[in-house]
């Protein structure tokens, strides 16, 4: 599927490191007339209500939740235009980057914000992902 967006990474802004070029853009442009989907923050809570104990499993489950919501709107990961990641431990950032590369890496990646916070809605939540998609 062709991207619905155009990534902007001009030479007038710091260069995105090579290892992040498939998972990060400084800005994402959306053509007029597109349908938008705003996805609330998704935790790593599985369909059955369980919460995996480790960061990687919670991150994968949170991504599964985002993808399920995209599917419910007739969209895919190719429609993502903006992602917000909230982590509770800075040491988990490299693991998240690896998971993002394997699951959501692409030639025209969305705009991204990743923030380390002191806690999320429950103390055992290690990640929350918000997303905006367009079709």
Contact 82, 132 (CB under 8 A): yes
CATH number belonging to domain 23-134:
3.30.1330.40
Q: Give the H/E segment covering residue 56.
A: helix 55-72
Encode pLDDT of 106-123 as tens digits.
988 999 999 999 999 999
Share of the chain above pLDDT 90, in %: 70
The CA distance from 116 to 90, in Å, is 6
Say what the pLDDT of residue 83 is.
97
Instruction: Report the Cα–Cα distance between both ends of the chain, in Å, rounded.
Output: 11
Say what the pLDDT of residue 2 is.
56
Encode pLDDT of 8-34 as tens digits.
888 888 888 888 888 778 887 777 888
HSE value, Cβ hemisphere, 13 Å, CA-based, for 133 = 22
pTM as predicted = 0.84
- For the chain, the domains span 23-134
Q: Contacts from 13-17 at CB under 8 Å and sequence distance 24+?
A: none
């Amino acid at each position: 599927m062709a991207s619905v967006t155009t990534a902007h990474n001009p030479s007038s802004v710091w260069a995105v490191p090579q290892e992040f070029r498939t998972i990060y853009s400084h800005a994402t442009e959306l053509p007029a007339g597109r349908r938008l989907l705003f996805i609330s923050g998704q935790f790593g809570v599985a369909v059955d209500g369980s919460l995996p104990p480790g960061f990687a499993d919670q991150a994968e489950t949170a991504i599964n939740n985002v993808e399920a919501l995209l599917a419910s709107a007739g969209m895919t990961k190719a429609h993502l235009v903006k992602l917000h990641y909230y982590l509770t431990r800075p040491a988990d950032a490299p693991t998240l980057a690896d998971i993002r590369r394997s699951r959501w890496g692409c030639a025209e990646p969305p705009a991204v914000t990743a923030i380390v916070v002191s806690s999320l809605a429950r103390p055992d939540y290690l990640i929350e992902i918000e997303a905006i998609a367009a079709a």
